[in-house]
Chains A and B, each alone.
Chain A
Amino acid sequence: MYNFEYHKPASVADAAALIGKAEDGKLMAGGMTLLPTLKQRLAQPSDLIDLGGLADLVGIKREGNAVVIGAMTTHGAVAASAEVKQAIPGLAQLASWIGDPAVRNRGTLGGSICNNDPAADYPGAVVALGATVTTNQRTIAGEDFFTGMFETALEEGEIVQSVSFPIPEKATYEKFRNPASRYAIVGAFVAKGPNGVRVAITGAGPTVFRWKEAEAALAANFSPSAIEGLKHPADGLNGDIHASAEYRAHLVGVMTKRAVAAAG
């Protein structure tokens, strides 16, 4: 790992000031992706700004008809939260399937969505549940947040503070894992609630996307049989040594059906 200047600010404002004046600074949440990246010398930031000291970005609370989760809340905390399990069990389930226990003790919601790995799990929940992302500058609709592979709508130095997830009637997540890395080859988050039926697919394409044909079919009849004949096209999907685009397209259908079946 190349060396860097390490900072641990005590407030979001301090963190924003530090990233603003750093030559080539990086914000670090749990570090579960960033530290391995640095260890492989795939990045060489001048400054590392550790958000681990920002206690007000940690926590889960119910606000009206939504569950608001602080950006620095770990996957382990979301998975174990009685509040999340009761209000949005599919979200707790998703968090419990990320990485392994030691990774879930460090990795955070904010880190996951800001990195926007194509195989990350949380983007599916943010899009399908119609969540809202709050930063130190504005709010961003979940659907507008993810703009491309490892790309988000965040401006330079903008810091995610929390994500508000409207409580759905039903929400489930199913993923087909790479047997070695355990990352999602394809994940399907299906939600039925105030935003109608939404199907968000991760792992399959460069970034999360909605499968609108399946949403329309499920809106008319929320059951696995409603999407029996639907096939997602392979065009534009990821293909690699783990799975071809055609195989991922097939899994989109299978995982969506499983998620609908699990929703009951």
Chain B
Amino acid sequence: MASTVTMTVNGKSVTGAVEARTLLVHFLRETLGLTGTHVGCDTSQCGACVVHVDGKSVKSCTILAVQCAGSEVTTIEGLATEDALHPMQEAFREHHGLQCGFCTPGMVMSAVDLAKTNPDPSEHEVREWLEGNLCRCTGYHNIVKSVVAGAKAMRG
């Protein structure tokens, strides 16, 4: 029951064979080799797999690849340019917003979505927004600092 699916990932049109049941995260990691998107819990709780689909953050372990046919998908690999990290990535580096780094791609993708809709989030708003992103190093304090700084940098 394999079929092909075409979508735009990080600005490039991609086509690949999928089964109906193939999750977006598996298409990204296994078919496209974009392993920056992580699978943490696989039960839509931890947020390590957050990517943007048509501009909105979604958990890529809880959406089928076929549902994204024709969509624009952005993964963590799509944020930086060749010369520079995205301001949110730079803020995570500057403020040590990571320890082991496993949750970081999802944290950054969620944070970028927040900054787009709320360019000047308070610490409280950042904490609420990151409700669906779990860090088991419990490094939330610096993550929140990073997101506030990253949003500020995105405002320019």
Contacts and interface: CB of A to CB of B under 8 A. Distances in A.
A54 interface: no
Given A3-B1, A3-B19, A5-B1, A105 B64 contact: no
Interface string A94-122: 00000111110110000000000000000
Nearest to B68: A52
B14 interface: no
B47 A100 contact: yes
Contacts of A32: 44, 62
Interface string B57-79: 11100111011010000000000
A81 B23 CA distance: 30
Contacts, number: 72
A6 B47 CA distance: 26
Contacts of A149: none
B57 A6 contact: no
Chain B contact-residue range equals: 20 to 34
A205 B47 CA distance: 30
B50 A102 contact: yes
A35 interface: yes
Interface of B: 1, 19-21, 23, 42-44, 47, 50, 56-59, 62-64, 66-67, 69, 110, 113-114, 117, 129, 131-133
Closest 10 CB pairs of A and B: A100-B132, A6-B20, A105-B56, A1-B21, A100-B131, A102-B57, A102-B59, A3-B21, A35-B62, A6-B66
